[in-house]
Amino acid sequence: MATIIARMPEEVKPSKWAEFKRAFTGIRREETISGYLFILPNLIGFATFTIFPILFTFYLSTQSWDLSKPPQFVGLQNFAALGKDDLFWKTLGNSFYYTFGAVPIGIFLAFVLALLLNQKIKGVILFRTIYFLPQVTLVVASAIVWNWIYQPDFGLLNYMLSLIGIQGPRWIYSTVWAMPSVIIYCNWMGIAPSALILLAGLQGIPAELYEAAEIDGASEYGRLRYITVPLITPALFFVVVTSLIGAMQTFSQFYILTKGGPNFATTPMVMYIFNLAFSWFRLGMASTVAIVLFFILLLITLIQWRIANRWVYGFSGD
């Protein structure tokens, strides 16, 4: 029926309104109503815990509110004050430093790990399980362990460096080394999901392509460059987009490992929003920073989507 309608001239095709009315007549109407009733709890939850907070955040960005008195309308003054806020610019720089420092390294390591786990060797299932264990570890527990590892005086890392005659830095207690320390920890903990997605992409590549390339005399590097990498780009695109968004929203790892210190060296935008709202009770400014972060994430995602057709195999943005 759909094929017949698609071949009909435009002037005799049923209108969208006619199709909509037909859906709500007879049995179709009962099925439609039943379907909406089934998803109604989810719609209510989505509206209550997602749509309403977003709209309320936009509302609060135009208010001055410290919870002790009713909100006062200030228009765009919060955005103007944000431009003069040195701490905001510092946290913005920290977020970009962490995101564009951690994500490329993490994706490269995840790709290498996926290649290793895709090998047909004995015990590969055990290795996959071991590499995924950090992901199922509680953030609090792993951060406490890494806090001990990074201790400058009695930590494991500096002790191992001392064995080869190297004086280790102060790591999370240094304004220079604190952010690289967090990047190392977060990549150790977070590359497993990306590696799992890339592994699924690798296993979706037809084996016949590798066999044909091997018959034609292609080297291991040639098969990797001209078969593996192009065909895994859809999974890689998903990992890049989600990793960038997740990195800009990272909070718990910073909060537990460094508390944003020293001297705000590891305070990202999300922690700044948290401090504004729940430590300094400036909910209007917190909402303003949240909106800025929202548009930054939207811009990053749109840029990725825009340039995807240049490097993602089979991508179509239409």
**Are residues 248 and 102 part of one domain?**
yes
Cβ-count burial 299-310 (b if 16+ within 10 Å, e if not): eeeeeeeeebee
Count up the domains in the chain and report the number.
Answer: 2
Are 110 and 231 members of one domain?
A: yes
Q: Long-range pairs for 295-304 at CB < 8 Å and ≥24 separation?
A: 296/248, 297/245, 297/248, 297/249, 300/244, 300/245, 300/248, 301/241, 301/244, 301/245, 304/237, 304/240, 304/241, 304/244
Q: Kindly state whether residue 60 falls inside one of the protein's structural domains.
A: no
pLDDT at 26: 54
pLDDT at 1: 43
One domain, residues 140 and 42: no
The per-residue pLDDT for 24 is: 54
Q: Is residue 290 part of a domain?
A: yes
Q: What's the pLDDT at 12?
A: 46
Considering the domain boundaries, does residue 10 fall inside one? Answer: no
Instruction: Quote the domain boundaries for residue 27.
Output: 17-50
In contact, 282 and 276? CB cutoff 8 Å = yes
Which pLDDT belongs to residue 173? Answer: 94
Ranges of the chain with pLDDT below 70: 1-27, 317-318
Judgement on whether residues 44 and 85 belong to the same structural domain of the protein: no
pLDDT for the residue 4: 44
**52-60 and 283-307 helices, crossing angle to 10°:** 120
Q: Are residues 43 and 83 in the same domain?
A: no
In this structure, what CATH number is given to the domain that contains residue 99?
1.10.3720.10
Check: CB of residue 60 under 8 Å from CB of residue 284: yes
Q: Which residues of 98-107 are buried (b: 16+ CB within 10 A; e: fewer)?
A: bbebbbeebb
Q: Is residue 108 part of a domain?
A: yes
Say whether both 203 and 287 belong to one domain. yes
In this structure, are 46 and 83 located in the same domain?
no
